Structure 1
Amino acid sequence: MTMIKWVLLASLTAALAVPFPRTSSAGEFVDVLDTDAMPSALASHGMLTGITQAGSRLFAVGQRGHILYSDDNGQGWQQAYVPVSSHLVAVHFPTAQQGWAVGHDGVVLHSSDAGQTWTRQLDGRQVGPNLLAYYQEQLADQPDNPDLQARVADAQRMIEEGADKPFLDVWFESERVGYIVGAFNLILRTDDGGIHWTPWLDRTDNPTALNLYAIRPIGDDLFIAGEQGLVLKLDRARGRFVSTPTPYNGSFFGITGKPGIVLVFGLRGNVYRSTDSGGSWIKVDLGLPLSVTASSVTADGRIVLVTQAGHVLVSSDDGASFHLQPNTALAPVAAAHVASGGSLVLAGTRGLRLIPLE
């Protein structure tokens, strides 16, 4: 199994990610980075791994470059034009019109028309050269810096390995400033809406290059969650993501909460809660040993967690405790979002489904 597939499997916690052939009908190699996503009437029933909302429109992304949007709170979905067929993992819109989606093969897509059409801003063929040029320039000023020497060597190795560089999450604070994160501490920042991307691999307290699975703001703070209990918080004054140690050494797949309340969640039902901006963490007992893969927050402030199997848990006390919502049909879940109408939209290996939230 390649690392790319394994990273996606980890983010879905063992939900199957089935690859598709990269050959044409004549048997010639066809690069998914140069192949438009194929329109499909069944796209909403395929594997989808990311959900977000911008204005009144919902968006979902997933396998083979599929991006779908809904204008009726998830009742019906339309497929957008996408210029690649790489698996997509996450999507975010800082405004109703401007959005970004990321995924395998180092893909970064941008939409300026409320998600109806998308253009490619970055792919894995450019990521390695981007990193190499950036760290070579820094090394020229600090030729004896061992960290920069290692960064240059890593970038050269990345170029040799090819385009398979998965991004696993994306978040923009405005139409111009945003971050993308991925495998092996891969993190880039843009200050011009994705025209240029600056590597931030040297600006994280992640010396062993653990995978970065999620990036999310909670209140005024910006957090990253990853492997081996890794939680990072942006120190804006230093321009660096600093470690906020947790008591858990397994993978965290996501972050949720609201101002004053931060929750990180991951493998085997492990959920930890902080009320001091990540200064300390207390374990939340869910009563389920299943990995938590998705979350959302309702308009009235309830926090929702969803397990890999599809169990829906709801907290009415700011994440201190959760109760299991009964009578929920189970199916593998990778992402969740509470729509404007109040229903919970779930995405996973069996596509999109809408359930009432009690």
Structure 2
Amino acid sequence: MLLASTALNVFADTSSAEEARAAYIMPLAEKSLLTDIYRVNSSFYVAVGERGHILQSLDGINWQQAAVPLQSNLNAVHFADDQHGWAVGHDAAILATVDGGNSWQVQQFLPESDKPLLDVYFRNRQHGIAVGAYGLFYVTSDGGNTWQQSFFAELAAEEDKEYLLDLQETDPEMYRAELSSILPHFNRIFADGNTLYMVGEAGFIAKSNDFGDSWQRMEEFYNGSLFDLHRTPEMGLLAVGLRGHVFRSSDNGQSWQQVELSESATLNSVFSDQAGNVFLAGNAGALLQSSDDGLTFTDRSESDGKAILNGLVLQNQMLLVTEVGIKVLNLDKSE
């Protein structure tokens, strides 16, 4: 008998006995730890970070802090369109806006879970997925009014599957409890057309062709944590992770080749621009650029050594979210 390939679904309890407290409006919020940045459209950008900070900008230079109803550290932000966006973070928190970030509402807040959500993705304003540590996986089909928690036995490590199979047959209640602790951290979810990828700890990588209803765990090619996955301009895949590890695939993840770097800092994200350049960002100010679709990289790291969590490129400037807030780099003048 095989492990069930469909999710074990549980309607999430989105409330908490502990009352959420509103984030403080801070005059230097744009210089605090920021973890993710999203381009909503060509003239609207949103960044999120510690203590419930959500910042908005119409030009990438001037930022204004939004009023947010909780103080949980936020790890990721995503918009389905100009008006509908979501942010996720610690305390399994999910925030939503329906007015372009002018106001935010709590859709889920579970501080007693002590588990962070690490990424969020919506394919439209109704259907979304939020993922995080210890196999956290929530789905919604109504814009986040309700969230359903899912557990996927097929995403467990190979050595754990026999144990789970025994539990599935003999103790369904324990089976569910073990699934919630035995699954790996899901660090990032990446949408590649109709295919979703997830990467996580201990070399975890998986893909779904049905928007997360079922998953295939792919063969591991690295035993360390992976923190991001990105489709390059020339249709390669790049995965980045601990201690400067970068891997490239030219066959949609069937095989991977390591890209040698001089940089050994942990890499947090990978992104590209319309000119075909690929950028890697990481701890200790690590910032690398490739002009050959990720085959080789030039080091352009920041001298202050502050961690870079993510970034994006607009025209001749790069916006970075770092442990000391927003950084704007002029690409024309950078070496």
Q: Answer whether TM exceeds 0.5 for this pair.
A: yes
**TM-score tier (shorter):** 0.7 to 0.9
Bigger shift: residues 181-190 or 217-226: 217-226
- Residues 265-276 of structure 1 correspond to what in structure 2 (within 5 A)? 265-276=240-251
- 2:256 pairs with one of 274, 281, 296: 281
- 2:47 pairs with one of 36, 51, 60: 60
Alpha-carbon distance in 2 for matches of 1:51, 1:278: 26
- 1:117 pairs with one of 99, 103, 121: 103
Runs of 4+ in 1 over 4 A off after TM superposition: 326-329
Residue 83 of structure 1 corresponds to 69
**Structure with more of its chain in strand, by fraction:** 2
SS at match of 1:309: helix
Q: 1:301 to 1:122 in 2, by over 3 A?
A: same
Q: Measure how far apart 1:307 and its partner are.
A: 2.2
Q: Measure how far apart 1:287 and its partner are.
A: 1.8
Residue 155 of structure 1 corresponds to none
Bigger shift: residues 57-66 or 235-244: 235-244
Unpaired segments of 5 or more residues in structure 1? 1-29, 126-161
Q: Measure how far apart 1:257 and its partner are.
A: 2.1
Residue 70 of structure 1 corresponds to 57
Residue 209 of structure 2 corresponds to 235
- Residues 81-160 of structure 1 correspond to what in structure 2 (within 5 A)? 81-124=67-110
Letter in 2 for 1:235: N
Unpaired segments of 5 or more residues in structure 2? 1-16, 158-181
Residue deviations 1:253-296 (CA, integer Å, cap 9, x gap): 11122473211111010111112221111111122111111222
The answer to whether the 8 Å contact 2:282/2:308 transfers is yes
Superposition RMSD on alpha carbons, in Å?
2.0
Alpha-carbon distance in 2 for matches of 1:34, 1:87: 12
The answer to whether the 8 Å contact 1:305/1:312 transfers is yes
SS at match of 1:184: helix
- 1:244 pairs with one of 218, 221, 241: 218
Q: Measure how far apart 1:303 and its partner are.
A: 1.2
Bigger shift: residues 250-259 or 37-46: 250-259
The answer to whether the 8 Å contact 1:203/1:241 transfers is no
- 2:27 pairs with one of 41, 44, 48: 41
The answer to whether the 8 Å contact 1:65/1:87 transfers is yes
SS at match of 1:120: strand
Q: Percent identity?
A: 35
Structure-2-length-normalised TM-score: 0.81
SS at match of 2:152: helix
Q: Measure how far apart 1:326 and its partner are.
A: 6.6
Residue 159 of structure 1 corresponds to none
Residue 172 of structure 1 corresponds to 122
